[in-house]
Structure 1
Amino acid sequence: MPWWPKKKRSEPEALTSISDPVLASYFGVTPSFAGVQVSENTVLGIPAMFRAVSLVAGTIAGLPLRTLRDTADGQRQRVRSWLDDPAGPNGQTVFGWKETIVAHLMLHGETYLAHLFNNAGAVIGAVPIHPLAVTEQEPTRGVGDLGRPLPRWTVALADGTTRTFTPATMTKILGLSLDGVHGLSVIEAGRNSMGTTIAGDRAAAKMFGNGALMSGLVTPEEDVDEDEAKEIKAGLDKKTAGWRHNGEVAFVNRKLKFTPWTMSAEDAQFLGSRAFQVEEIARWTGVPPHLLMQTEKQTSWGTGVAEQNRGLARFTLAGWTGRIEQSLSRLLRSPLFCEFDFAGMERPTPEQEIRLLLEQVQAGLITVNEARKIRNLPPIDGGDVLRNTPQSDPANAASGVEGVLAP
């Protein structure tokens, strides 16, 4: 006889369903009302969402991250710091580093940066850690910190061990937060909306994959038993189901009457739902629909779209860059701070820029050489003197410097 006790067959098995929300949350998968799991991978499988995240993250990554300090004369001076190569020579590129932390912020509402130190204990870099690899620990009381709780984070390493971080060794950048401790994840907040989108995509794929392109009722003109009916159905499905057989002619050796059931994609509202999902993603991410390649409801040209592109920097990108700037500035020694440079993104057209430079030169705001430097032109003799042309004849004043600003 075996040494273990036998279990009666009538006793229920202690099993956990794979659809259990507790189990799903353990693996970082969030259920939705649509019955599909919403996770990082499934959300990025939505074309509009992938485009929105890559556009915002890539645009911010392309902005120069300057380290600055204020001088005694009220000017801002650029200085070098570890932010010029934040991940170090063996890590990511500067572009990839910024792109990663913005993507983490957008999807998970939080970004974790593990500090790199030199032998003197100074911060010389920061490595992005995926938010799903970080576990929040119970806060402890910091010594000499007025008794405020000191947060701790545990990270699972590749060798199976764990490492505990504190604010002295890791920086946490928060997105939109309700308590100042945890950031709101768009995956969590929009799980039902995005779950509906994912379910719609799967339904559309199943419609084409299972042969809804030609569906209907088959009635044999002779009596058949159940087994023969199953054989007939299997044979028809094999010859007609799926997109591979769309438009083909099926040959059968029985007398069958086929009554089609017509259900177009428009009737099933797949096309309408897929167009609406772009607007939903635009609301969640703040990216204008025309940048998500939806231009049916507006023109792709004109000042309206140009103003929307400028609004992207003001109303969407500035919120992400502001969080990153203030968090990273804390890692720099005083009085240094960092800022993203939006000058290149907000730069006007060449025609508008030349006209503005001419007006600024004639108003005595900048010199000719300063204007030429903006246009990437070399300086000229006598171009460092401010001009002050009378306002009575602006046409003649502009013609006097138009030539020196031309490429």
Structure 2
Amino acid sequence: MTGGRTIRCMKIRWPWRRRESTPAQNLISISDPALVELFSLGTPNFAGVDVGEGSALGLSAVYRAVALIAGTMGTLPMRSIRDTGDGQRQRMTSFLDNPGGQFGPTPYEWKETVMLHLLLHGNAFLKHIYGGAGQLLALEPIHPLCVSIDEAPDRPGGKLFKAYRQTGVNVGQVEEFDARTMTHIPALCTDGLRGLSPITVARNSLGTAIAGDRAAARQLSNGALIAGMVTPDEDVEPDEVKQIKAEIEQKVSGWENAGGIPVINRKLKFTPWTMTAKDAQFLESRAFSIQEIARWFGVPATLLMDPSAVSTWGTGVEIQYRGLARFTLGHWAKRIEERLSRLLPAPRFVEFDFAGLERPTPEQEIELLLKQTGGKPILTVNEARAIRNMPPVEGGDELMPAPEPEPEVSQSDPPEREEVPA
């Protein structure tokens, strides 16, 4: 008793303390990235919504931008090359021809996953998989939310990586790595340890877009397609007001009542609001969020299917696509190339082949080749037929001689006149 009042303490019994065993199928591993995101404090932003991997990918513009960059990088060949010393390059074979290993992800899936980790979380962690003889066989991507980084001056690279991995049946275990057993590819970095997460840096823009989607969904599910104030022509009691409001919302609110004709046995006067969603620039803000996301990821808005983007035709679209390869994909490729090149013995290095992506149109390429060869033929008949999936013909494996140019007739010289006998 304190101050004349009795304070009673209630003892809380946690339900899991009384359980001696829990079925294995009901357990969740602590290495699950979804669980890490669920129990995180969220990314604070002006819109007041949680921005994470799942919510960010729920935005169509983010999903399209990430899928476009990651998918395009996945299609680029990743070559292992050696400088021969005479200015030439020689293609070499290495484990990076299939970096996921024999039973791991395919080369396309591996490159796409690494890029997805970089685009969303700003870091890619690759666990080294060694063979029995100590040779490096593959690189296993680990989700960035499952890896922490600490400074460790006594370790190679000065970093200590701790990965919370699932090693048994729903049993989590902490694995420690350093530069000898894990390759870390950071994005834009300010502290030298961990790369900046794009979805964290862009939390305000993404949060506004997520809030806009939720507001639109709530307007269609719970809100009326018309907004205004209802005034009864007669006096009603407070309980009747609640009943009238519930009756109107039941017959008017929601997408299933769109276009319907409500019938209410009341004498009411409806006054619409003067401020609509368009006046509040709701639709304009949602369209602007697409351009914001395109700006964050460095993707032209036209590739995000934005109908409000500036319309460009011909060479304008081609220049935009070349700019994507040079100023967006090239930066990501350079980060991966330099980190993976450390895993190969010198003088070998890794390089992405952008030739197929930057190749001009067939007409432009043929015209360029003809100019470089002085107009001489560059294909045999059978090579041309093979391009068209046609069978070879006899005698079609030799280059045909270039046709002789026709003599030019000077326009200044008058044509010769034939003499007509008298």
Fold in common (TM above 0.5): yes
In structure 2, give the amino acid aligned to 1:70.
D
- Output the CA distance in 1 between the equivalents of 2:339 and 2:41: 26
Equivalences for residues 2-401 of structure 1 within 5 A: 8=7, 27=40, 29-142=42-155, 150-158=158-166, 159-362=171-374
- Whether the 8 Å CA contact 1:213–1:246 is kept in 2: the answer is yes
Q: 1:235 to 1:75 in 2, by over 3 A?
A: same
- Output the CA distance in 1 between the equivalents of 2:266 and 2:99: 72
- Output the CA distance in 1 between the equivalents of 2:275 and 2:70: 40
How far 1:262 sits from its partner (Å)? Answer: 4.9
- Whether the 8 Å CA contact 2:149–2:193 is kept in 1: the answer is no
- Output the CA distance in 2 between the equivalents of 1:333 and 1:310: 33
Q: 1:79 to 1:380 in 2, by over 3 A?
A: farther
Q: 1:335 to 1:253 in 2, by over 3 A?
A: same
Structure number with larger C-alpha Rg? 2
Listed one character per residue, the Cα deviations across residues 247-295 of structure 1 (whole Å, up to 9, x for unaligned) are: 1011112222222225433212121011111111121111111111124
* 3-state SS of 2:231 partner: strand
How far 1:87 sits from its partner (Å)? Answer: 0.9
Listed one character per residue, the Cα deviations across residues 366-398 of structure 1 (whole Å, up to 9, x for unaligned) are: 9768xx79x969997666xxx9x9xxx9978xx
How far 1:221 sits from its partner (Å)? Answer: 2.6
* 3-state SS of 1:113 partner: strand
- Whether the 8 Å CA contact 2:205–2:293 is kept in 1: the answer is no
How far 1:209 sits from its partner (Å)? Answer: 2.1
In structure 2, give the amino acid aligned to 1:346.
E
Q: 1:321 to 1:394 in 2, by over 3 A?
A: farther
CA RMSD of aligned residues (A): 3.1
Give the share of equivalent positions with the same residue, in percent: 50
- Output the CA distance in 2 between the equivalents of 1:28 and 1:85: 38
- Whether the 8 Å CA contact 2:224–2:252 is kept in 1: the answer is no
Listed one character per residue, the Cα deviations across residues 330-381 of structure 1 (whole Å, up to 9, x for unaligned) are: 11122221111111111111111111111222299x9768xx79x9699976
- Output the CA distance in 2 between the equivalents of 1:395 and 1:295: 50
How far 1:96 sits from its partner (Å)? Answer: 1.0
* 3-state SS of 1:141 partner: coil
Q: Which residue number corresponds to residue 15 of structure 2?
A: none
* 3-state SS of 2:204 partner: helix
How far 1:71 sits from its partner (Å)? Answer: 1.9
Q: Which residue number corresponds to residue 4 of structure 1?
A: none
Listed one character per residue, the Cα deviations across residues 62-104 of structure 1 (whole Å, up to 9, x for unaligned) are: 1111111122443211122111211112211111110111111
* 3-state SS of 1:317 partner: helix
In structure 2, give the amino acid aligned to 1:261.
W
* 3-state SS of 1:172 partner: strand
- Whether the 8 Å CA contact 1:286–1:312 is kept in 2: the answer is yes
Aligned length: 365
- Output the CA distance in 1 between the equivalents of 2:103 and 2:41: 29
The runs of 5 or more residues in structure 2 that have no matched partner are 1-5, 13-35, 407-422
Q: 1:217 to 1:360 in 2, by over 3 A?
A: same
In structure 2, give the amino acid aligned to 1:255.
K
- Whether the 8 Å CA contact 1:204–1:270 is kept in 2: the answer is no
User: Normalising by structure 2, what TM-score?
Assistant: 0.79
- Whether the 8 Å CA contact 1:134–1:153 is kept in 2: the answer is yes
In structure 2, give the amino acid aligned to 1:291.
L
Q: 1:261 to 1:283 in 2, by over 3 A?
A: same
In structure 2, give the amino acid aligned to 1:155.
A
- Output the CA distance in 1 between the equivalents of 2:404 and 2:135: 56
- Output the CA distance in 2 between the equivalents of 1:76 and 1:192: 46
* 3-state SS of 2:318 partner: helix
- Output the CA distance in 2 between the equivalents of 1:272 and 1:260: 22
- Output the CA distance in 2 between the equivalents of 1:165 and 1:285: 30
How far 1:208 sits from its partner (Å)? Answer: 2.2
* 3-state SS of 2:137 partner: strand
Q: 1:324 to 1:136 in 2, by over 3 A?
A: same
- Whether the 8 Å CA contact 1:154–1:165 is kept in 2: the answer is yes
Q: 1:44 to 1:79 in 2, by over 3 A?
A: same
In structure 2, give the amino acid aligned to 1:130.
H
The runs of 5 or more residues in structure 1 that have no matched partner are 1-6, 14-22, 397-407
